[in-house]
């Protein structure tokens, strides 16, 4: 089956009500990305399969990023993508995380990805500025939007890193869903004896065999949950600089400490004999969303979003939608190859 036919058929599944002209422009840019163009206006324009002059192709790409009708249709596209991806799965594992979109810390992406075998599949994402990044209202609105996209009766397990704390867990529970999240400093726990302790006191007990605990997190507003303590075997990896020496930057040291610290995982899932091992297995999937961010940003390993110079939130939202659809299309093409 020809690639062009697969692209058109797949795109029509997630854009059933889109104007034909707009769908044609969208398909043309997605084909450019699939063929190896970077996720920038100029690269996508130059990669268009058209007899028009180069400058006109670039303008065509530029116009689509500024198309207000397409921007209004993005939520509907994510809904169709979500319905298609999640399908009949009543208990999907959904990974959620934030990521910087530029080196100047002006725009940030919050993404929800469906865990799968291999790469996670993005089902919804939003672009935010510094003022709304990681705010409680932003998190609640994101979860509310996600709930409208998922199929009826779907109760996902939401997996997050240590940046999402107990207010997030409460918001997830209010939707009737379950969560798995990591707890790190600064945090305190209480194991039922009324005495609050720093979570680092548990680290000494961590082994390669997951241990299930019951207790509370957040001393100021106690939150009951199940806790799983686990420390995996060291993989012996080191981040090296160009001289072959371990990196000494503040960020590198923070990443190293995060990787070396044991996992203290909080969850709302009911207790079973295999819960501890299951939680560790679920949390390991979280790396899929990090790999997805690299697939989007890296020119060497992905779609080259890191080269774009777009500064407007609406245009960024459409550009990121294009990278998400491209990733989805490449998965489809790979499955039928």
In a domain, 65, yes or no: yes
In a domain, 198, yes or no: no
Check pLDDT > 80 for residue 231: yes
In a domain, 106, yes or no: no
In a domain, 59, yes or no: yes
First to last CA, the chain: 9
Q: What is the pLDDT of residue 258?
A: 66
Beta strands 107-114 and 121-129 are antiparallel
In a domain, 154, yes or no: no
What helix, strand, coil percent values describe the chain, rounded to 5? 45, 20, 35
| H-type alpha helices, the chain | 3-14, 20-34, 41-46, 54-65, 68-86, 136-149, 166-174, 200-203, 250-260, 275-284, 287-297, 313-336
Check pLDDT > 90 for residue 243: no
Domain that holds residue 323: 3-71+308-336
Query: What b/e sequence results for 47-81 when a residue is b if at least 16 CB atoms lie within 10 Å of its CB, and e otherwise?
Result: bbeeeeeeeebbebbeebbebeebbebbeebbbbb
pLDDT tens per residue across span 41-72: 999 999 999 999 999 999 999 999 999 999 99
In a domain, 291, yes or no: no
pLDDT bin (cut points 50, 70, 90) of residue 207 is very high
Average pLDDT, the chain: 92
Q: What is the pLDDT of residue 256?
A: 65
How many structural domains does the chain have?
1
Q: Are 23 and 15 in contact (CB under 8 A)?
A: yes
The rounded percent of the chain whose pLDDT value lies above 90 is: 80
In a domain, 18, yes or no: yes
In a domain, 329, yes or no: yes
Q: What is the pLDDT of residue 1?
A: 53
Please compute the mean of the pLDDT values over residues 87-106 and round it to a whole number: 95
pLDDT tens per residue across span 13-41: 999 999 999 999 999 999 999 999 999 99
Check pLDDT > 80 for residue 302: yes
Work out the burial of residue 121: count CB atoms within 10 Å of its CB; fewer than 13 is exposed, 13-18 middle, 19 or more buried: buried
Quote the pTM value.
Answer: 0.92
């Amino acid at each position: 089956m020809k690639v062009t036919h697969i692209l058109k058929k797949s795109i029509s599944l997630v854009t059933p009500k889109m104007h034909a002209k707009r769908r044609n422009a969208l398909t043309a840019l997605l084909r450019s990305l699939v063929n190896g163009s970077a996720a920038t206006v100029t690269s996508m324009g130059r990669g268009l399969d058209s007899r028009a002059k180069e400058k006109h192709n670039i303008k065509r790409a530029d116009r689509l990023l500024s198309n207000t009708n397409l921007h209004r249709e993005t939520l509907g596209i994510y809904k169709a993508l979500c319905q298609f991806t999640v399908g009949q799965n009543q208990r999907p594992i959904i990974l959620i995380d934030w990521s910087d979109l530029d080196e100047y810390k002006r725009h940030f992406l919050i993404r929800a990805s469906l865990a799968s075998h291999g790469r996670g599949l993005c089902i919804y994402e939003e672009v935010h500025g510094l003022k709304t990044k990681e705010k409680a209202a932003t998190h609640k609105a994101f979860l509310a939007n996600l709930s409208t996209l998922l199929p009826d009766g779907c109760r996902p397990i939401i997996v997050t890193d240590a940046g999402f704390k107990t207010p997030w867990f409460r918001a997830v529970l209010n939707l009737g869903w379950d969560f798995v999240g990591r707890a790190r400093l600064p945090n305190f726990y209480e194991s039922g004896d009324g005495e609050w302790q720093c979570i680092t006191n548990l680290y000494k007990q961590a082994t390669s065999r997951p241990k299930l605990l019951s207790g509370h997190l957040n001393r100021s507003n106690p939150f009951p949950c199940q806790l799983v303590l686990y420390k995996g075997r060291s993989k012996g990896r080191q981040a090296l600089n160009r001289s072959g020496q371990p990196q000494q930057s503040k960020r590198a040291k923070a990443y190293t400490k995060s990787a070396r610290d044991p996992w203290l995982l909080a969850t709302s899932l009911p207790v079973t004999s295999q819960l501890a091992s299951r939680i560790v297995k679920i949390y390991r999937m979280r790396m899929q969303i990090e790999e997805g961010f690299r697939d989007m940003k890296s020119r060497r390993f992905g779609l080259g979003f890191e080269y774009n110079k777009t500064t407007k939130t609406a245009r960024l939202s459409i550009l990121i939608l294009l990278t998400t659809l491209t990733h989805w299309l490449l998965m489809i093409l790979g499955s039928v190859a």
